[in-house]
Amino acid sequence: MRISCPFCGERDHSEFTYGGDASVTFPELDASLEEWNDAVYIRSNPKGVLREKWHHSGGCRIWLVLERDTLTHSISQVEPARLTISELVK
């Protein structure tokens, strides 16, 4: 699988570290342990296009959000996890 980092260009996925489902929303810091357990460990693992966090650990070290089809591994979108970073490098 190849990932096109918006800052470094196309690279092999081995330069990246998977960071989990980007659609997960975490509870408030004072939420119950059960809410935190569910947010951290309970996943639905659906097939198809998902938004995922990936860290370019072997490159620019920026966190990215990818839209990736888990069946075909095709990537339809890559953007910085913090969109303000794109504005900083313009």
Rg (CA), the chain: 15
Per-residue binding string, Zn ion, 38-77, x by CB under 5 A, is: ------------------x--xx-----------------
Q: Is 8 in the site for Zn ion (CB under 5 A)?
A: yes
Nearer of residues 6 and 67 to Zn ion, judged by Cβ: 6
Tell me if 47 sits within 8 A of 39, measured CB to CB.
no
Nearest to 16 by CA among 53, 51, 60, 55: 55
Question: Among residues 39 and 89, whose Cβ is nearest to Zn ion?
Answer: 89
Choice from 5, 65, 66, 75 touching Zn ion (CB under 5 A): 5
Least gap, CB of 6 to Zn ion (angstroms): 7
Of 68, 64, 62, 60, nearest in space to 81 by CA: 64
| 10, 59 Cβ separation under 8 angstroms | no
**Residue ranges binding Zn ion (CB under 5 A):** 5, 7-8, 56, 59-60
